[in-house]
Amino acid sequence: MSLKETKSPISKRMEGVSESATLKLNSTVQAMKEKGVNVVNLTAGEPDFNVPEEAKEAVLAALKANRSKYTPAAGIPELREAIAKKTNHQQEELAKESPWKSSNVVVTNGGKQAIFNSLMALLDPGDEVLIPSPYWLSYPEMVKINGGIPKFIAASAKQGFKIRPEQLKASLGPKVKVLILNSPSNPTGAVYSRDEFVALADVLTSTPGSENIWIISDEIYDRISFGKSQFCSFLSATPKLRDRVITVNGMSKSAAMTGWRIGWSVATDVITQALITIQGQSTSGINSLAQWASLAALGLPEAYFSDQVESFRRRRDLLLQNLKKGSKMELIVPEGAFYVFAGVGKYLRPGEESVAFAQRVLEEAQVAIVPGTPFGEPEFVRLSFATDERSIEEGCQRLNRYLT
Q: What pLDDT was estimated at residue 32?
A: 84
Contact between 139 and 23 (Cβ < 8 Å): no
Question: Is position 232 within any domain?
Answer: yes
Specify whether 98 is located in the same domain as 190.
Answer: yes
Domain span at 378? 16-45+305-403
Residue 363 pLDDT more than 70? yes
Q: What pLDDT was estimated at residue 120?
A: 98
User: Per-residue pLDDT averaged across 34-58, rounded?
Assistant: 93
- Rounded CA gap, 257 and 252, in Å? 4
Question: Is position 3 within any domain?
Answer: no
Residue 22 pLDDT more than 80? no
Contact between 88 and 99 (Cβ < 8 Å): yes
Residue 4 pLDDT more than 60? no
Specify whether 191 is located in the same domain as 323.
Answer: no
Q: What pLDDT was estimated at residue 147?
A: 96
Specify whether 221 is located in the same domain as 345.
Answer: no
Q: What pLDDT was estimated at residue 102?
A: 98
Query: What total number of domains does the chain contain?
Result: 2
Contact between 397 and 40 (Cβ < 8 Å): no
β-pair partners for 128: 149, 176
Contact between 198 and 236 (Cβ < 8 Å): no
Residue 19 pLDDT more than 90? no
Measuring CA to CA, which residue among 197, 193, 180 is closest to residue 119? 180
Q: What pLDDT was estimated at residue 1?
A: 46
Question: Is position 268 within any domain?
Answer: yes
Specify whether 150 is located in the same domain as 205.
Answer: yes
Contact between 55 and 293 (Cβ < 8 Å): yes
User: Per-residue pLDDT averaged across 327-353, rounded?
Assistant: 95
Question: pLDDT tens for residues 111-147?
Answer: 999 999 999 999 999 999 999 999 999 999 999 999 9
Question: Is position 5 within any domain?
Answer: no
Put the strands of the sheet holding 105-108 in their side by side order. 105-108, 263-266, 245-250, 214-218, 176-182, 128-133, 149-154
Residues above pLDDT 90, as percent of the chain: 87
Residue 50 pLDDT more than 80? yes
Specify whether 164 is located in the same domain as 312.
Answer: no
Specify whether 175 is located in the same domain as 117.
Answer: yes
Contact between 398 and 366 (Cβ < 8 Å): yes
- Rounded CA gap, 168 and 163, in Å? 7
CATH code of residue 372: 3.90.1150.10
Q: What pLDDT was estimated at residue 3?
A: 52
Measuring CA to CA, which residue among 75, 110, 119, 115 is closest to residue 263? 110
Q: What pLDDT was estimated at residue 33?
A: 82
Q: What pLDDT was estimated at residue 6?
A: 66
User: Per-residue pLDDT averaged across 51-63, rounded?
Assistant: 97
Half-sphere exposure of 372 (CA within 13 A, CB side): 25
Specify whether 281 is located in the same domain as 394.
Answer: no
Out of 300, 329, 351, a domain closes at 300
Out of 271, 300, 329, a domain closes at 300
Question: Is position 7 within any domain?
Answer: no
> 0.75 exceeded by the pTM?
yes
User: Per-residue pLDDT averaged across 267-296, rounded?
Assistant: 97
For residue 19, what is the DSSP state? P
**395: enclosing H helix or E strand:** helix 389-403
- Rounded CA gap, 114 and 267, in Å? 11
380-384 and 370-371 beta bridge pairing: antiparallel
Give the residue, 120 or 304, on which the prediction is more confident: 120
User: Per-residue pLDDT averaged across 237-246, rounded?
Assistant: 97
Question: Is position 4 within any domain?
Answer: no
Query: What is the distance in angstroms between the CA of the first residue and the CA of the last residue of the chain?
Result: 57
Specify whether 75 is located in the same domain as 177.
Answer: yes
Say which range, 217-231, 249-263, 358-372, has the weakest mean pLDDT. Answer: 217-231
CA quadruple 284, 288, 290, 294: dihedral, nearest 10: 100
Specify whether 164 is located in the same domain as 193.
Answer: yes
Mean pLDDT of the chain: 94
User: Per-residue pLDDT averaged across 382-387, rounded?
Assistant: 97
Q: What pLDDT was estimated at residue 192?
A: 97
Specify whether 144 is located in the same domain as 159.
Answer: yes
Measure Cα distances from 221 to 62, 138, 250, 339 in Å: 28, 16, 9, 11
Q: What pLDDT was estimated at residue 219?
A: 98
Out of 300, 332, 347, a domain closes at 300
User: Per-residue pLDDT averaged across 299-328, rounded?
Assistant: 93
User: Per-residue pLDDT averaged across 35-44, rounded?
Assistant: 91
Residues whose CB is less than 8 angstroms from the CB of residue 310 and which lie 6 or more positions away in sequence, other chains included:
226
Specify whether 38 is located in the same domain as 151.
Answer: no
Give the residue, 91 or 3, on which the prediction is more confident: 91
pLDDT interval class at 14 (50, 70, 90): confident
Q: What pLDDT was estimated at residue 2?
A: 53
Specify whether 157 is located in the same domain as 177.
Answer: yes
β-pair partners for 312: none
Question: Is position 370 within any domain?
Answer: yes
CATH code of residue 264: 3.40.640.10
